[in-house]
Structure 1
């Protein structure tokens, strides 16, 4: 007879094996067996940052922080892109793993967590490489706070997990919500503060933008890159509480309605 402790350890090890197998499968599906997929994962956000820098460099004399447009927009674009990428990946967890979810050993939460871990690791590598490229290409001294930068990245991924887990359920039960979400998400790039500083907008608009958790993450990221910038509006408990709250709701619905979600 297997002791309860040994049985629990075996179950945990099995969950880790399932997560690892799902991550390997997703990696091969998303990026293929060549380096081309990984190259585009880096080239796409870098191209967006370059275009923003060139466009606003022609229209403005200097960025809101520092002297490099490239670094300023990267400090907003990279955390925003992390949230967006993780959110989209987690949202598609059921659709991309539907065949595997018929096996009893694979749960919907496994699929969601595998998507989250792989997309987070992907964006971590992309973010590090982008910052290295940008730091090497600009002539501007930087005073980095690696702790704040890492925290901002983690919170961006955590928001993506919460939003993605909930949308993973809502998109299946309410197909119309997918179209509504696309409409609601169109202005989020601008409203998150990628192109401007939170403190630069009128007070009334700031009161509305404060409820956007991605704006807090971008402010935190810029505080980690620009030593003299201290955003007073950033609330880490708000971001963590909202993200975990959305994830708990999404995870509960995934477990409660697992059979119904597979039949849709």
Structure 2
């Protein structure tokens, strides 16, 4: 509540939920950029076996990692499996690992496409088994999905913050004989005005959300039967909506 007097009642509602949702969309969409990376593996057989080696590189937002692996230390390649959960089901994902005398080095990200990982592992095995094999170069660039998620998240979050999330100022003015609604976003302001006697009542509209949870929003009921919701979305604050309804009705009854 902003102002309450004998002649005027002013209520202000800020869309904290939409602001938070938009912010989460923007920040959450930026997270994958930090994990998306480009992998490159270049291997060569040299005249002297001791000079034969592989060059592994991972580049991403966190920097560039480079590891030189002498071929005598490269013992083989394996496909690592992991169980993941999503959308109510469990599934396997796969990743190629280079096995060296100093430990395991991952090439590429985990994916549910086992066939693609088997193809990469087979190419590496053939190179290791054939000393006359031409140089091997493998590249996997995963930056695209990070940018795709970023564009999608910002495409939802920014319009929500800049346009969709609007501060509502609701004014009941007895002296002027009007009821006005003013919606202000960061980029736009809209105002609707109704004659005092055209507004019959303020009602609480009830809906059921997930798992049967009650949701509510306020609406103006006009004399011609038209109902105008003050918000396009429902809120879980049912008691708060009912309390505002009681405040508005009490003010109007004393007109």
More helix as a share of residues: 1
TM above 0.5: no
TM-score range, shorter chain: under 0.3
Higher relative contact order (CA 8 A, sep 6+): 1
Larger Rg over CA atoms = 2
With normalisation by structure 1, the TM-score equals: 0.23
